Amino acid sequence: MTIEKSRWLRFVVAGMMAGTALCAVGARAQDISTAGAAISTDGSQGGEIVVTASKRTSSTIQDTPIAVQALGGDALKAQGAIDFADFYHAIPALSVQDEGPGDKRYVIRGINSAGASTVGLYLDETVITGENSQDGGGQAPDIKLFDIDRVEVLKGPQGTTFGASSMAGTIRYITKKADPDAGVNGYVQSALRATKGASLGLQTDGAVNLPIIPGVLAVRASGFYADLPGWIDNRFKNGANAEKSKAGRVTARLQATPDLTVDLTAMYQDVHQDAKNFYNRLDYRGNVLPSDFQADEVRAPYNDESEIYNATVNYKQPFGTFTGTVSRFVRDTSFVRDASLAAQAFFGLPYAATGRSALKQDKHRRVDSGELRFASNFGGPIQILVGGFFQNENRDFRSSWPLADTTGNLPANAALLLDREVTTRIKERALFGEVSYEIVPDLTFTVGGRLFDFKLEQVSNAIVRAGGAPGAGVGPKLRTKDDGLIGRFNLAYKLSDQVNTYVQVAQGYRSGGTNDQTAAAIANVIIPDGYGSDSLWSYEVGVKTTLMDRKLFLNGALYYIDWSDIQVSQQATNGTLSFGYTGNGGKAEVKGVEVTLEARPAQGLTINLSGNYNTAKLAQDNPIPATGRDGDRIPYVPKVTASGSVNYTTFVDALGVNASFGADVSHQGSMATKFNRTIANYQPLDSYWLVGLRVGVNNGPWAVNLNVTNLFDDRSTINYNEIVPGVYPLGYYTNRPRTFSLSGQVKF
């Protein structure tokens, strides 16, 4: 798209509104860019965790002018956290559309729909955001939490600094870096894991920092391995959904001069499951299955392999810092889903004989990105952040329908009932910047913008048409492009050393895309060749407080989001077969409030409480009203999320050790998989509570921790497999059963 006149008008009006608010306040402020900044659950650090979420300066959470919740790596390790599923409940306004490892769609502040991701995902400076899901999955990778310094969760539109996919927020994994000024140091940790209904599992990770030239050059190497027990059985294997993961990362830091630093990173991660995490209640004949059992007639493994490479250069001068970074992210996934009943229903092939088959989807994705930026450190009232960004993305996707043998395997030379390929090429370029002006001491007005240009090309190749006949071959090249300007306006007022307040207007956007038409065309079903962009404006006001001599941190925010041209899932049919595609809907509105509290009432005691109330609804009917009507709640968005934790640490004289005791509880409200009950495959998702306990001892370099998650073994359904009557039996994804982990760590 080219920004329409109305969008330019809203941009100008928003600026006038923020400027008017500035005049009305007429006093001091600090540059705070998004609402509801939360406090780390790391009780040892709390608001003192240092973050870099603004891309301009490093500062503590309470002093950072941005809505960021930081989870400390050491605290995550002590709690036994391995990946995203182990920590997201602690973050208000964050939910997830979860289908297991490597197959998640993140949701922040109620912004969730079809199309590309609405949440940006970064490992340090590397873009690893999940891609558009129309061509076969495209969900965010699960980064394993080993040798992590912290995880930053930025809420609200971050598009001016982090780009199109950050229209709802951004999640950043910040790794520990090599340190030339430190000696040889590191850690080793191992844990035994016992999950109800599963065998014993093992997880281990470690890292070592090696100064090659003290004060100049160092290398840090770290690794991770996990064999997590499965609790889902099928006809091929008990505990078939066991997860085996391995990962390694090497970083190097060259301190060429006191002002010039070069960081290099290379990372590899591999995740494998023999089966996904769902179970069925009925088999293909309609018979009741045992608990936690899959009905699949074909083996359905999942493989997810990632590589990440990055080089970052920082050059500091008294007036500011120049940063240049280039990255490559490569991801290969292979997903298999039993399609035996579909072959029986569509082609008359009995599933127990000639129709035993599976849908196999293989995807190769490569993302090359880079950024050059300057963050000022001027002595006067004006500060700037300015930069340029590029991203080139190549995706090669193949979806085939091979017949299986009698053992449930897919032979290499299997006959195919369908075979198609999709090649996608994306180029994105952007210029971004922010200007902050301190009008009087502690009163700062910030305006930011991002000028972007996005181009996508896609070509499909129908190799085998449905049923096994030769396909139509290479189709037309589909193209879409998008360009425009988005903005952010912020007014922040520091009432005192203890209280910061702010008002912000920020815009987020998401580019359009194409719909692969090959499968639908085979069945003479017409679907649109593409869909347009969508965008939102977020209006928020909030406060961050540091009270009682930094023993109490209380933050809150109110926000309203106006979302237009939502990208939504649609269906087209020939009366027998239906095909999904992505189109543009109407409008939605999100209204919410967030509150976070951290208290330190006594030495060694930390209490954290947080909550979010959110109403995310359509504000008008979709173009096809049957797919969503005015007032329908947005799928996978709970009205209420809440969490609490308490941690107490004390020295035990009798044993000569430090002991810690902790408990946490989280609540997720009810939600649903579709807009309303009249839509096919609508399924409700009930609310649930999760409780965890932990106890640990440490003395100097060693520590031992015992954790239990999901203490009361809550098995609430958190997602469903799509059900097509007579084609797939309904599959249920649930919380992981109660799990104990006993870990030991040694630092050196």
Query: What contacts 94, CB < 8 A, 6 or more positions away?
Result: 88, 106, 107, 108, 153, 641
Chain segment 171-216, per-residue pLDDT in tens = 999 999 999 999 999 999 999 999 999 999 999 999 999 999 999 9
What per-residue confidence (pLDDT) applies to 189? 96
3-state secondary structure of 13: helix
Strand partners, 462: 420, 473
pLDDT value at residue 177: 96
What CATH number is attached to the domain comprising 180?
2.40.170.20
Q: How far apart are the C-alpha atoms of 72 and 354, rounded to whole Å?
A: 54
Q: Return the number of other C-beta atoms located less than 10 Å from residue 722's C-beta.
A: 13
Q: What pLDDT is recorded for position 679?
A: 86
Residues 384 and 434 sit within 8 Å (Cβ to Cβ): yes
Q: What pLDDT is attached to residue 726? A: 58
Q: Would you state the pLDDT for residue 707?
A: 97
Query: Residue 525's pLDDT is what?
Result: 81
> Is the pLDDT score of 610 beyond 70?
yes
The residue to which tokens 């965008």 are assigned = 535
Cα 475 to the center of its chain, rounded Å: 33
Given a contact cutoff of 8 angstroms between Cβ atoms, the answer to whether 375 and 385 are in contact is: yes
The tokens for 418 are 């369908």
pLDDT over 70 for what percent of the chain? 90
27 has pLDDT over 50: no
pLDDT of residue 426: 94
Determine contact, residues 566/576, Cβ cutoff 8 Å.
Answer: no
Mean pLDDT of 310-326: 97
Residue 28 pLDDT more than 50?
no
Q: What is the mean pLDDT of the chain?
A: 88
Res 39 pLDDT > 90:
no
Residue 250 identity: V
pLDDT of residue 30: 31
At 368, is the pLDDT very low, low, confident or very high (cuts 50, 70, 90)? very high
* pLDDT score recorded for residue 527: 84
**221 CB-contact burial (10 Å; exposed 0-12 / middle 13-18 / buried 19+):** middle
The pTM of this model reads 0.90
Q: Structural domain tally of the chain?
A: 1
How many CB atoms lie under 10 A from the CB of residue 117?
A: 23
Confidence at 13, pLDDT banded by 50, 70, 90: very low
Mean pLDDT across 91-112: 89
With cut-offs at 50, 70 and 90, classify the pLDDT of residue 11.
very low
Lowest-pLDDT choice from 9-18, 32-41, 91-100, 524-533: 32-41
Q: State pLDDT tens for residues 691-740.
A: 999 999 999 999 999 999 999 999 999 999 876 655 778 899 999 999 99
Summarize the chain as % helix, strand, coil (round to 5). Answer: 10, 55, 35
Asked if residues 381 and 427 have their Cβ atoms less than 8 Å apart, the reply is: no
Distance between start and end Cα atoms, the chain:
55
d(CA 40, CA 38): 7
Q: What is the mean pLDDT of residues 650-668?
A: 94
Nearest to 165 by CA among 142, 137, 139, 145: 139
pLDDT for 385 equals 96
Alpha-carbon span 57 to 376, nearest angstrom: 9
Place of tokens 């070069």: 262
Q: Which residues, in sequence order, are CB contacts of 501 under 8 Å at separation 6+?
A: 29, 492, 493, 494, 495, 541, 542, 543
Q: Which domain holds residue 10?
A: 5-747
The pLDDT, as a whole number, for residue 519 is 67
* Residue of higher predicted confidence among 165 and 166: 166
pLDDT beyond 70 at 326: yes
pLDDT reported for residue 617? 96
CA angle 81, 307, 205 (to 5 degrees): 35
In tens, the pLDDT along 218-235 reads 999 999 999 999 999 999
- Collapsed DSSP state (helix, strand, coil) of residue 392: strand
> Do the Cβ atoms of 652 and 628 come closer than 8 Å?
no
5 pLDDT above the threshold of 80: no
* Average pLDDT value for residue range 442-457: 94
Mean pLDDT of 409-431: 94
Q: Read off the DSSP letter of residue 17.
A: H
